[in-house]
Amino acid sequence: MRSKLPVLFPKRRYVVFRLDSEEEIGSRDLQREIHFAQASLFGDLGAARNRLKLIYHEGPFGMLRCRHDGVQQTRAALASVYAVGGVRTAIHIRGISGTIKSAREKYIPQLSRTDAEDGGRRIELEEVSGCIVHIHGRKIDLCPDDPKRSRGSDTRYLGLTSFDLSGGHDDADGTSDGL
Amino acid sequence: MSYYLWGAKALPEGSDSASRQALTARDLGYKGIIICNCEPSRIFKADAARQIKGFDVEFGAEIEASNARALHSRISAWRPTYPILSVEASSDEIIHAACESPHVDALILCIDSRLSIAAARAAGESQVAIGFDLSPFFRLRASSRARWLEAFGRNLELARKFGLSMILTCMARSRLDLRGPKEILAMAEVAGFEPAEAEEAMLLPERIVQENRRHWLAPGVELL
C-alpha cells in the first residue's frame, strides 16, 4: 500500500549551481554551509519548510532540491554564502528545472572539469607580480608577491584575464593572450 | 532584461582587474558593468576590459570625502571627466551634501548609514538616486546582519515615501563578491523590496549610463 498519493507529494524544483572558489570544496562542508546560511537567514522553521537538500556535487557543479514555492528563498540563501570551510566561495545559480534529468541535461556540462591547469609560471608587471595558480580559459588567478594587494577584499588570489597581459603583439603561436 | 552592475571595484582597490570583474559579470548575465574606484586614474589595465565583446564597461568614480567642502571640490573636479559619480555615505554631513548636489548620480548607503528626512527630500529635488548596498547580506551574520536589515528597512521606507530613485548594488571588491541579477533581486526581496521595485532598481543603472552619455549643456538643454 502506498503511504501517500502522488498528488499529495509536494512539488519540487532542482537548482543547478556553479561554485566559484579559491580551493576545492568538499560536499560535506558545502552542505553544512548551505544549511547554515538558510537557517541563519530564515530561521529553523523557514529552513524546515523549504526542504533543501544537496543531491549532487562534483567539481564546480552541484544540484539542490527545494520546494517549488521556495525557489526565491533558495536563491537568497545561496547568495548569502560567503565562505565554505574557511575558503572564499561564491555560489552562482545556473538554472532551475522540474526534474533531475532535465536539470542535468540543460545546466550541467558533460565535461564537469573545465580546462583548468596549474600554472607555476610567473607574471612580472610593473603594477603586479606573482605566481599563476589557476587558469580557466581567459581567467587567471594570481598569487601576488605582495600579500597586501588583496587586502580589504578578503581574497587570497588576484583575478586577472589574458586581456590584462596582452601587450598588443602576437605571441609565437599567433595568439595575443600574453601567456 | 538588460541589467548593469553598479559599483564594482577593480585593482588596486579590489583584488580583481577590471577585465576579470567584467568577464565574471558577463557570465552571470549582466549586459554591462560600472566600475567605480575612488582613484579611477590608477585602475590596473582599464583598457583591457573594453576588449570584451558584447559587454559594456563604464568607468565612473566613487567619491570618499571627509567633509562637505572636500566633497564639492571633488565633484566639480571629476564631473567633466567621469560619466558616473557616486558618493559613499560615510557621515551625515556627506549624506546631506551629496543629496543636495544635482551633479551626483547616486549616494551609496553603507552598513550604518541613516538617511534623514531632510536628506531624502533634497535627494528627490536633486534627482540623486539612493544606492542600497547588499554586500552586508553575505558579509555579515546573526545580530550584526539583523541590525543592518533594520537600518536597511528604515532607509527603504524613507526612499519610498519621497519617491526616490533606487539602485541595487553589491559593491563587489572581487569576483567572489559578484552576484547574478536574479540573486540580487532575491536578496532585495528578502531585505524588504517589493518585486517590481527591485526590478526597477536593477534597470536604473543602464538608464543613468545612457542619460550621461548625452551632452547636456544645462538642465533640460541637450547638445545634439
Query: What was the ipTM of the complex prediction?
Result: 0.91
- Answer whether B181's CB lies under 8 Å from B3's CB: yes
Backbone angles phi, psi at B37, to 5 degrees: -90, 160
User: How do beta strands B215-218 and B221-223 pair?
Assistant: antiparallel
Model confidence at A174, in pLDDT bands (50, 70, 90)? very low
- In chain A, which ranges are E strands? 12-21, 53-58, 61-67, 83-84, 87-97, 117-118, 122-124, 129-136, 139-144, 158-161
Q: Which of A40, A79, A160 sits opposite B186 (nearest CB)?
A: A79
Return the sign of the alpha-carbon dihedral for residues B161, B166, B172, B173: negative
Model confidence at A2, in pLDDT bands (50, 70, 90)? low
Least-confidence region, from A25-29, A154-158, B174-178: A154-158
Higher pLDDT, B12 or A7: B12
How many CB pairs (< 8 A) connect A and B? 118
Best residue in A129, A161, A162 to probe B by mutation, most B CBs within 10 Å?
A: A161
Q: Which of A40, A158, A164 sits opposite B15 (nearest CB)?
A: A158
- For residue A125, the model assigns a pLDDT of 80
Which residues contact residue B108 at a Cβ distance below 8 angstroms, ignoring those fewer than 6 apart? B7, B62, B86, B87, B88, B89, B131, B133, B169, B171
Bond into B102 cis (ω within 30): no
The CA distance from B104 to B72, in Å, is 10
- For residue B110, the model assigns a pLDDT of 87
Which residues contact residue A17 at a Cβ distance below 8 angstroms, ignoring those fewer than 6 apart? A61, A62, A63, A64, A78, A91, A92, A93, A94
To the nearest whole angstrom, how far is the Cα of A101 from the nearest Cα of chain B?
Answer: 23
**Claim: this prediction has a pTM higher than 0.95:** no
User: How do beta strands A158-161 and A139-144 pair?
Assistant: antiparallel
- For residue A52, the model assigns a pLDDT of 94
Chain B residues with CB inside 8 Å of A60's CB?
Answer: none
Chain B residues with CB inside 8 Å of A76's CB?
Answer: 183, 186-187, 189-190
Regions of chain B short of the pLDDT cut 70? none
Q: CB distance from A86 to chain B under 8 Å? A: no
- To which H or E segment does residue B219 belong? none
The answer to whether the Cβ–Cβ distance between A88 and B176 falls below 8 Å is yes
CA B179, B181, B183, B184: dihedral to nearest 10 degrees?
A: 80
Model confidence at A120, in pLDDT bands (50, 70, 90)? low
The answer to whether the Cβ–Cβ distance between A164 and B178 falls below 8 Å is no
**Residue A155's closest chain B neighbor by CA?**
B15
- Answer whether B83's CB lies under 8 Å from B36's CB: no
- For residue A1, the model assigns a pLDDT of 60
- For residue A115, the model assigns a pLDDT of 44
Q: Which of B12, B51, B175 sits opposite A159 (nearest CB)?
A: B175
To the nearest whole angstrom, how far is the Cα of A38 from the nearest Cα of chain B?
Answer: 11
Least-confidence region, from A62-66, A137-141, B103-107, B108-112: A137-141
On average, the pLDDT of chain A sits at 83
Which residues contact residue A100 at a Cβ distance below 8 angstroms, ignoring those fewer than 6 apart? A14, A55, A63
Backbone angles phi, psi at A141, to 5 degrees: -100, 130
Q: Is the model's pLDDT at A126 over the cut of 80? A: no
Q: Is the model's pLDDT at A4 over the cut of 80? A: no
Number of Cα atoms under 13 Å in the Cβ half of residue A9: 9
Q: Is the model's pLDDT at A178 over the cut of 80? A: no
- For residue A169, the model assigns a pLDDT of 42
The CA distance from B178 to B196, in Å, is 22
Number of Cα atoms under 13 Å in the Cβ half of residue B127: 6
